[in-house]
Structure 1
Amino acid sequence: MGKKNDILIEVKDLKKYFPVKNGITKNNFIKAVDGVSFYIRRGETFGLVGESGCGKSTLGRTITRLYDVTSGDIFFEENNIAKLRKKQMKQYYKKIQTIFQDPYSSLNPYMNVKELIEEPLTLHTGLNKLERKEKIENLLEMVGLKKDDMDKFPHEFSGGQCQRIGIARAISTNPDFVLCDEPISALDVSIQAQVVNMLEDLQKEMGLTYLFVAHDLSMVKHISDRTGVMYLGSIVEVGKSDDLYKNPLHPYTKGLLSSIPIADPIKARQSNLNIIKGDIPSPMNIPSGCRFHTRCPYAKPICSKVQPIEKEIGTDHIVACHLY
């Protein structure tokens, strides 16, 4: 682990359960995030990958307190924000912002660009009307839009342009931490690289720290300093992105990485595919022991009985698996 003052966000045993009515007599819970612990260093990009439904977005939204915490701790600049009320969180919302997956649904269609970006400035800064206008013009320039776009509404823009507006809105308060919740998955492939490059430029310019949630494993490798692999509400492996992609340890990570398409058909045929079989279990009925044992080709008897503990294998490379 890095030095204490290097760590911007540290999560300890975080849980987020959603109640579900199961018949007439009792309630059940979807265990979307179930005992997650990790940290993000100041100025780095931490990538989070996993199958749909594994809890990536819920984890991100719980850390930013868009969702209330069921249990566990979230330390932001060493202050525990897990149990703070909405009013107490106001001072942190300026420092913690989110870029959402769907650029259209995240923007109010009845507000023009000026009003959309001005809203967080009005709430979180003491800028006057003229200063806010100048700030909005600068922000639009930073994300590759024009000053003339201020009076337009979201429906007048493409998906990529709407996402740029969302990014301008997110960075308007000069935050320390930005949750990028699948910010490129709804965009055309030709636009994705432009948006990712822009996020990297903004990070260098403003000293931002990112939690980058995505399905695109190649893009996560490109943008992330470290990557966490999530399965069924739990993180099974964390490592420096290059190490994790070159030397995956957990069977689930190996299966995920083997699903990355290979452009060369000859190399694709020669590659040793490690396809994950079966369906992901229900988060209402998580398997005992290692939660991946029902789909793991290397499962041993202990895997179904005992939950594996995290072990450090090499520098900054942690895995939760009985094979190590």
Structure 2
Amino acid sequence: MGETLIEVKNLKKYFTVKSSVFSRNEQIVKAVDDVSFSIKKGETFGLVGESGCGKSTLGRTVTRLYEPTAGEVRFEGVDITKLGSKEMQVYRKKMQMIFQDPYSSLNPYMNVEEIISEPLDIHMKLSKREKQERIEEILEKVGLKKDALEKFPHEFSGGQRQRIGIARALSVQPEFVLADEAISALDVSIQAQVINLLEDLQDEMGLTYLFVAHDLSMVRHISDRIGVMYLGKIVEISPSRELYKNPLHPYTKALLSAIPIPDPARAKEAVYEPITGELPSPLDLPSGCRFRTRCPFATAKCAEVEPEMKEVDKDHFVACHLYEE
């Protein structure tokens, strides 16, 4: 890891909503608001935060499933936000996605062979024999047998369906994969299996992941670096081990303290720092720091000035006035 694969600069994604069904008044939801970060080749960048913080929207905007309102997304130096549909087709192949719900993301009227064939037919010109070999090869890599090809999604368990979704995403040999809550719909016992599978495939195929999740304990195991998101903003970016050992932002500390500890003795000694107050409406965001309405360390400055992202330690960035000189 060293060379940057994806660089996001000042990315914004705003949605226009009506205040009510019968109203003509429109309001703006700033789902992603001026976000910048980068992902290196071969790296797994974890993106965490509460539900509704904008992390899935950010991932989908990076891959241009959503069109950005403003900002840049550079893939190997090329700003893909400025590409037309024909030019973007090349990058569609390079950037694939694993969806949250392995059942609704698979066409129930298509068998496994047809599901995996679909992206191959769109992005690659293969002979019938080459396509069949590719399908069987990727199916074996995700841990499914050849006899699964003729079966339909409803005939599989949740974990097996997610493996089919992974096979579909990897069939065209992408460089970058967005895993959008890829394990949250699975049983806990199956989650670890899927995480291990993704790590093995990453090593074997040289993949780069953007791993979106709300389960911080799982993100810890798969991520090289982690970005913490709150109300459309990334408030902290750090190497995974460093974030868990030395969280800086009050929001990150609160999220980590909420992770259940399986050892009863350690759980009694642990300091629990719950997040107080209600999550502000995305239609009426607080001035200054967006976390200030729930932060125990908020000052008058927090209401007036929005904190900038600063490097506090090596590769450890935080947007908080507590760490300003």
Q: Same fold (TM over 0.5)?
A: yes
Compute the TM-score of the two structures, normalised by the length of structure 1. 0.97
Matched, 1:12 2:1: no
Summarize deviations over 1:30-76 as a string: whole Å, max 9, x none.
11111100000000000000000000100000001111111111000
Q: CA RMSD in A?
A: 1.0
Residue 208 of structure 2 is aligned to residue 235 of structure 1 = no
TM-score after normalising by structure 2: 0.97
Give matches, 1:18-37, under 5 Å.
18-22=15-19, 24-37=23-36
Q: Displacement, 1:127?
A: 0.8
**Which residue does 1:81 correspond to in 2?**
80
**Residue segments in structure 1 that go unaligned for 5+ positions in a row:** none
CA-CA distance at 1:83 after TM superposition: 2.9
How far apart are the structure 2 equivalents of 1:275 and 1:86?
46
Counterpart of 1:283? 282
Cross-structure match for 1:185: 184
Q: What's the offset of the Cα at 1:126?
A: 1.4
Q: 1:85: Cα distance to partner?
A: 3.0
> 1:110 and 1:199 mapped to 2: Cα distance?
27
Corresponding residue SS for 2:294: coil
1:151-300 map, 5 Å? 151-300=150-299
Secondary structure at 1:40 match in 2:
strand
Q: How far apart, CA to CA, are the structure 2 residues paired with 1:48 and 1:17?
A: 19
Counterparts of 2:308 and 2:189, CA distance in 1: 41
Q: CA deviation at 1:274?
A: 1.0
Matches of 1:282 and 1:73 in 2, distance apart? 27
Distance 2:78 2:27 in 1: 32
CA distance in 1, matches of 2:104, 2:24: 37
Q: Displacement, 1:25? A: 4.3
Tell me, in whole angstroms, the C-alpha distance in 2 between the residues paired with 1:213 and 1:115: 27
Alignment check: 8 A CA contact 1:69 1:83 kept = no
Aligned partner of 1:305 in structure 2 is 304
SS at match of 1:294: helix
Q: Distance in 2 between matches of 1:312 and 1:10?
A: 17
Unaligned runs of 5+ in 2: none
Q: Which residue does the alignment assign to 2:117?
A: 118
| 1:1-37, Cα deviation, whole Å (9 max, x unpaired) | x96xx10000011111111012534311111111100
Moved more, 270-279 or 219-228: 270-279
Whichever residue aligns with residue 185 of structure 1, its letter is S
Give 1:265 shift.
1.9
* Alignment coverage as a number of residue pairs: 321
- The answer to whether the Cα contact below 8 Å between 1:32 and 1:54 also exists between their aligned partners in 2 is yes
How far off is 1:84 after superposition?
2.4
**How far did 1:280 drift?**
1.2
* Equivalence for 1:322: 321
- Counterparts of 1:37-186 in structure 2, within 5 Å, are 37-186=36-185
SS of 1:103's partner is coil
User: Residues of 1 paired with 2:174 and 2:274: CA distance?
Assistant: 40
Letter in 2 for 1:50: G
Instruction: Provide Cα deviations, 1:116-155, integer angstroms capped at 9, x if missing partner.
Output: 0001111111111111011101111000001111111101
Given that residues 34 and 234 in structure 1 are in contact (C-alpha distance below 8 angstroms), is that contact kept between their aligned partners in structure 2? yes
Alpha-carbon distance in structure 2 between the residues aligned to 1:167 and 1:190: 18
Secondary structure (helix, strand or coil) at the match of 1:58 reads helix
What is the deviation of 1:278?
1.3
Letter in 2 for 1:7: T
1:104 deviates by 0.3
